[in-house]
Homo-oligomer: A and B are copies of this chain.
Amino acid sequence: MRAEAAHDILKKYLRENRNLRSTPERFAILDAVLQTQGHFDAESLYYRLISDGVKVSKATVYNTLGLLLNAGLVSKYRFAEKTSRYEKAFGRPQHHHLVCLACGDIIEFVSDRLERIQEEVCGEKDFTPQSSSLQIFGTCARCRKK
């Protein structure tokens, strides 16, 4: 996944939603997101930007994450905690999560059959899906053995 391609998607999104402007902050935040692995929250992303010498405010981070969400470049989740968690969505397959309630660890999985069931349900209910999130809460192998 090249940063340029993601930049183009954001530019296109901004262009198509007239009056949205291309600012250096927005692209700096996008770059920081692209460097992440796994999940992150707004606060830690903010601190990473600051420590990398990028001058942004928390307000702009929250704002821009919302923008990236609409542009389809990040996904947003709420697991058990009060903090919202994000992850880059660009170039990653649709996937779901096993959340360990003991250690907080998150295991990802992909299932074609799950995707198919979702399509069927949406068809039956005449619902147009945009995104989805299956979270299975429980205990991971390591914690169970403790």
What distance in Å separates the Cβ of A70 from its nearest Cβ neighbour in chain B? 11
Q: A109's contact among B107, B125, B135, B140, by CB below 8 Å, is which? A: B125
* Chain B residues, Cβ within 8 Å of A124: 109
Q: Contacts A98-B122, A111-B121, A113-B117 given: A137-B131 contact, CB under 8 Å?
A: yes
* Chain B residues, Cβ within 8 Å of A111: 117, 121
- 8 Å CB interface, A120-140 against B: 121-122, 124-140
A130 to B143, CA, bound (A): 14
* Chain B CB within 8 A of A118 CB: yes
* Chain B residues, Cβ within 8 Å of A127: 98, 100, 107, 136, 138-141
Q: Contacts A98-B121, A117-B111, A121-B98 given: A132-B128 contact, CB under 8 Å?
A: no
- 8 Å CB interface, A51-86 against B: 78
A144 to B141, CA, bound (A): 43
* Chain B CB within 8 A of A101 CB: yes
The answer on a CB contact under 8 Å between A133 and B132 is no
The answer on a CB contact under 8 Å between A134 and B131 is no
* Chain B residues, Cβ within 8 Å of A107: 125, 127
4 closest A-B pairs by CB: A126-B141, A129-B138, A134-B134, A132-B136
Not counting A122-B138, A127-B139, a sample of 9 additional A-B residue pairs whose C-beta atoms are within 8 angstroms of each other reads A98-B125, A98-B129, A109-B124, A111-B117, A117-B117, A118-B136, A122-B136, A131-B136, A133-B137
